[in-house]
């Protein structure tokens, strides 16, 4: 079946450090890929998405590129802030599918 694997956290960084959170996937079809962010006590917020190979999703300084050859969608940010501290989820949905498949989440902690 379809699955998403993320690097385990927590990831602890100092403010202004470079962030990478790895995400790889397996899918029976051709998926769209997403990164969601969850702040403490809240639901999920869509951070960025990519719907086809080589697409780059970007939002709020975060970027991720859909790499079909490596089945990856790694999240990056050049300079993190304390306010970026949250749990990040990588997810996929098959085209014409009806369910999101999530990874286990990666907690990011940014220290001043």
Partner 1 sequence: DAGVTQSPTHLIKTRGQHVTLRCSPISGHKSVSWYQQVLGQGPQFIFQYYEKEERGRGNFPDRFSARQFPNYSSELNVNALLLGDSALYLCASNLGGSYGYTFGSGTRLTVV
Which residues are at the interface with partner 1 (CB under 8 A)? 4, 32, 36, 42-46, 49, 51, 89, 91, 93-105
In the complex, what is the shortest distance from the CB of residue 99 to partner 1, in angstroms, rounded to a whole number?
4
Closer Cβ to partner 1, 13 or 105, answer by number: 105
Distances (CA, A) of 40 to 6, 16, 59, 107, 109: 19, 21, 20, 11, 12
- Number of H helices and E strands in the chain, helices first, is 0, 12
Q: Is the Cβ of residue 80 or residue 92 nearer to partner 1 in the bound state?
A: 92
CB of 19 to partner 1, least distance (A): 19
Burial grade of 14 (CB within 10 A; 0-12, 13-18, 19 or more): exposed
Please say which residue, 12 or 79, places its beta carbon nearer to partner 1.
12
């Amino acid at each position: 079946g379809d699955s998403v694997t993320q690097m385990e956290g927590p990831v602890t960084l100092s403010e202004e450090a470079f962030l990478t959170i790895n995400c790889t996937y397996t899918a029976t079809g051709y998926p769209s890929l997403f990164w969601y962010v969850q702040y403490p006590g809240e639901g999920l917020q869509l951070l960025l998405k990519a719907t086809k190979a080589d697409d780059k999703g970007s939002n709020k300084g975060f970027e991720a590129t859909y790499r079909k050859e490596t089945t990856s969608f790694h999240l990056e940010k050049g300079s993190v802030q304390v306010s970026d501290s949250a749990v990040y989820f990588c997810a996929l949905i098959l085209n014409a599918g009806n369910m999101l498949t999530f990874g286990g989440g990666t907690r990011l902690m940014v220290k001043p």
